[in-house]
Structure 1
C-alpha cells in the first residue's frame, strides 16, 4: 500500500500522544496558558506535539511539520516546562516494537523543546509536510467535551494520510450521535478510537490501545435516502462557525433534528463512520482563515469513507498555500450522493445575506 510506513508511524504516534492527553484530561490542573489570539493551550498540547514531531523526525528526518504550538513560552516558564517533561517521560506504548518505530522516548528536555520548535514550517505546495494539531478542540478538552489529536501528511499540497485520535468517542461505529456527546464526556471503557485513512485506500477505525495497534475496521458514511432525517454536526463555539446560517440551511433542507454540537475533528470522524451525516462550518467573517491542521486529517478520512468535502462555495480545500486555507471559506462535508443538494442550499443562504 502507498504510504504504508507513514501510516503506521502516524497511527502509533497519535495513539501514544492521545494516551498522554488522557492523563491530562483526567487531572484537575491542566497547566493552561492563553496564547496571543486568546485561545487556550495546555500541557497536553505541548506534550502531544513533542512526542509526535520527535517520532516524525526519527523516521523521516527531512520531512517538515506545520504544528500549532512552539516552545517559546516554555523557555521562560520552568514550572510548566517541568510538568510537560514529566508527562513526556512517562509516555510509552508498553510495546517494544511500537517504541522502536517511534524512536523510543525523548532523551532530555532540550530534545523536547527542539521537537516542539520543529513544527514551524510555513507549509506550501512542494515536498512532504505534516499538519499537526496536538489537541484539536482545546476548549472541549477543558470543559469535558470532545477533542482530537490530529495528524496528516501532505505531499506536494495533497493530503495523502490522515489520523485522528478521539479518546471520548465510543468504540462502537454503529452508535449514532445525539446532542449529549458534546459535553460531560469520559474516556471510560468502551471509548477511545483511532481513525485513519490513506488516499485511495479507504478509511478505518480501531480502538485505542496501550500497545500495538488494535485490529482495524473499514468505515463508510451512512447512505442517506431522506435528507430530512439527517443528523448534522457543527462546532460548539459560535466564534468558529455561524450557527444562524447553519440553522437556516437545516430548515431549508427540511432537517428538524437538533444539531449535534461538538468540538474538534471528532465531527469529521463521526460522519465518516456514519454516526452522523453532515458537517457544516460556515464563515463568521470575511477575514477569518481556517488553519490547515484543523481539517487536513478529517478531510482525507471523510473522502475515503465515501464523502465529499468542499468549502461553502464548492471549491476543493487547498492545503498547498501555507499554514491556512486562505483560498477557501467555510466547510461542507456530506455523503457524496447528497453533497450537491446540501451545497446548493448553503450557497443560497450565504448569497442572500
Structure 2
C-alpha cells in the first residue's frame, strides 16, 4: 500500500493541531493543571487531540487510536472546557483547506470530550492503530521552548506512516541548532516545520503553514565519519531520561554539542539521540516514539533500544519489550550502542 491518503490526512490534522498549539503557545495563560502523574497538561493538549482524532475518525472510522490524554479533567472543569472548545472552533474556522478535506466532527463541547476519549485503545499487534501525542514536550511548551505534535499509523504493530509537527523549529533544514533554538519564538520569525515519512518512501520536511500544505522536500541524516564531531540530542527532562548516563556516554564518544531530537537528527541538524531509562521498571509510551522512529529510519538512520533491539510497537500502549532509545546514523550506530552498553553495564 502507498498510504497516501493516510499521509495526507495525518499531515493536515497535525498541521491544524500545530496551529492550535502555536496559538496557545503565544498566549499569556496556557491553562495548566496537574494530572495524577504530576505532569502538566495544557489546553493545547486537549485541543490538539480533539482536532486530530476528529480527522482520523472522519476518514478512517474503524481505526483504533492510542492517545495520551483523556477528557476527565475537561468534564470536571467547565472553565477549562470552554477555553478549549473556543480554541478548537477558532482554528477550524480559520483553516478552510483542512476543514474541507478532514471534516468538522467536533460540533460542540460535549462531542469534543467524547472524541478526546476515543484515544483509549489498548494498542497491540493486530489491525490499524494510530498513536498520538498531542504535545510531546509539554514542559518545554510551557517554558517557551521545543515541543512536537506526534502522530503515527501502525498496521499489525509495524509503523507505516509518521508525522511530527514542530512549531518552534526553524524552517531551514540546514539551520544550526542548539538546546535554546526557538525559545520564546514569535509568529513573525517564521518558525514551524512538519516532518513526515511513509515506510519505504523516505522522509520529508515542509514549512508549517495555514491552509494548504506546503511543498515537501526530502531530508536525510548527514554522513558522520568522526563521532566526536557529532551533535548529541537528549530529552531536557530529567524524569524522562538519565542525564548522568547520557553525559558519560557523550564523554566516551567525545561529543560536546547539544541539540533537539528526532526531527533534528532526521533533517541532518543533529546526529545522535539517546533516551535512557531512569529506573528499571520505566516503560516508554508508544506515542512518544512511533512517528520519530519511522522518520529517522526513513531518513537513513537506525533506531534501537539500549540493547540493540528494534523498537516494538506491538505490545500495547508502552514499549514494554524495550529499554531506552538510541538513534544515530547507520554508520556510527553500533559505536554509539557500544558506548551505551558500556556505561549501563557498569552501573
Aligning the two structures, in what range does the TM-score lie when normalised by the shorter sequence? over 0.9
- Aligned match of 1:238: 238
Out of 12-21 and 71-80, give the one that drifted further: 71-80
CA distance in 2, matches of 1:185, 1:247: 28
1:231·1:277 contact (CA, 8 Å) conserved in 2? Answer: yes
**Partner-residue secondary structure (3-state), 1:118:** helix
Q: Is the 8 A contact 2:166 2:194 kept in 1?
A: yes
Q: How far off is 1:235 after superposition?
A: 0.9
Where does structure 2 lack aligned partners over 5 or more consecutive residues?
Answer: none
In structure 2, the CA distance between the partners of 1:93 and 1:9, relative to structure 1 (3 Å rule), is: farther
Deviation (angstroms), 1:105: 5.7
Q: Which residue of 1 aligns with 2:25?
A: 25
Among 252, 270, 281, the alignment partner of 1:276 is 270
Is contact 1:167–1:187 with CA below 8 Å preserved after alignment? no
Q: Partner residue of 1:6?
A: 6
**Gap regions ≥5 residues in structure 1:** none
SS in 1 for 2:116: helix
| Partner secondary structure for residue 195 of structure 2 | strand
Distance 1:179 1:94, change over 3 A: closer
Q: Does 1:227 align with 2:222?
A: no
**Candidates 341, 344, 347, aligned match of 1:350:** 344
Number of residue-to-residue matches in the alignment: 347
Preserved contact between residue 136 and residue 148 of structure 1 (Cα < 8 Å): yes
- Specify the alignment match of 2:299 in structure 1: 305
Q: Pick from 294, 310, 316: which aligns with 2:310?
A: 316
With normalisation by structure 1, the TM-score equals 0.95
RMSD (CA atoms): 1.3
Distance 1:101 1:45 in 2: 23
Q: Render the CA deviation track for 1:280-305: whole Å, top value 9, x for unaligned.
A: 11111001110000001100000000
Q: In 1, are the aligned partners of 2:241 and 2:277 still within 8 Å (CA)?
A: yes
Runs (4 or more) in structure 1 with deviation over 3 Å come to 93-97, 182-188
Residues 42-99 of structure 1 show CA distances to partners (whole Å, capped at 9, x for unaligned) of 1110000000000000000000000100111111111111001100101137564432
1:50 aligned partner: 50
- Note if contact 2:168-2:183 (Cα within 8 Å) is conserved in structure 1: no
SS in 1 for 2:168: strand
Q: Which whole-Å CA distance do the structure 2 matches of 1:326 and 1:32 have between them?
A: 29
> Structure 2-normalised TM-score?
0.97
Partner deviation per Cα, 1:160-219 (whole Å, 9 max, x = no partner): 100011010000000121242274444443310011000000000000111110000000
User: Is the CA contact (8 Å cut-off) linking 1:332 and 1:343 kept in structure 2?
Assistant: yes
Alignment of 1:126-205 (within 5 A): 126-181=126-181, 183-205=183-205
Q: Equivalents in 2 of 1:166, 1:341: separation in Å?
A: 29
1:242-253 equivalences under 5 Å are: 242-253=242-253
Residue 340, structure 1, aligned to residue 325, structure 2 = no
Q: Which residue is 2:64 aligned to?
A: 64
